[in-house]
A and B are shown apart, each in its own frame.
Chain A
Amino acid sequence: MAYEGALVALADPTRRRVFEQLRTGPKSVGGIARDMPVSRPAVSQHLRVLKEAGLVRDEQDGARRVYSIDPRGLGPLRRWLDQFWDQALDAFKAEVERPTPLPSPRRRRRS
């Protein structure tokens, strides 16, 4: 599946920063490396992993290659979580609103 490994790819803090650099728009490897204390080859390597995980895509823009976030990357996971929490919170509401159990019957005093 395309999204498998997406979160694993983002678990690396540096790679996540590379990914986050693309949030404001497509960038080239050089553009990303300029704003980070990481070499261009390292940025390229991170981009490759992100691309394999379906999180970024690349295209040729004239002489340079630019990378951008592929918004489809985390879609399936988000959709699943969305459904999961709907279900879970409904169950939570049902429990909160369940009438409190009646106090246990008073012990009968032996006469």
Chain B
Amino acid sequence: MNRTISISPVLKDIDVNAPPARAFEVFAGFRWWPKSHSILESKSPQVAVTIEPKVGGRWFERGEDGSECDWGKVLTWEPPKRMVLTWMLDSTFQINPNVVTEIEVTFTAIGANRTHVSLEHRLFDRYGEEGEKIRAAVDSPDGWPGLLKSFAEAAAA
């Protein structure tokens, strides 16, 4: 029996009625992020998900009480076409700085006012070299605590 097995990435596509620049901007604004998907240790309601628009920039959320939690980093920042982010996530839905998955989002114009958005969430397969570099560089401050718990809850719901 011979076959090739891969951990295939999660692939998603969606067409939106907006030009790429707007689609990119709205995506990067993360106001659309499901508010229930917060992993703040303080359980403070999520007020913002922020991405610093540059390579190496932070991707993090902030709670009403001002507390912050890092989710990942920017690997590639090419508005309005493409962004690649790392997402530190493990299978118990805890933040784990040793476990970095990679998300690539591309925005392609398919009409005057229409954009094809394609998202690839790579787990380990086809893992970019950049990811390896960042993974090595990512700080692991103590106490990235019991995060992403609500992800698990959402998953179980």
Contacts and interface: CB of A to CB of B under 8 A. Distances in A.
Do A and B originate from a single complex? yes
Interface string B28-47: 00011110010000000000
B4 A24 contact: yes
Contact of A69 (B5, B91, B101): B5
A81 B11 CA distance: 10
B117 A7 contact: no
A88 interface: yes
Interface centre among B1, B17, B89, B92 (most CB of A within 10 A): B92
A10 B127 CA distance: 12
Interface of A: 3-8, 10-11, 13, 16, 19, 22-26, 69, 71, 74, 76-78, 80-97
A82 B10 contact: yes
B90 interface: yes
Contacts of A89: 12, 14, 117, 119
Instruction: Determine the interface band of chain B, counting residues with CB < 8 A from chain A.
Output: 35 or more
Majority DSSP secondary structure for residues of A touching B: helix
B90 A7 contact: yes
B60 interface: no
A80 B34 contact: no
Contact of A88 (B16, B33, B96): B33
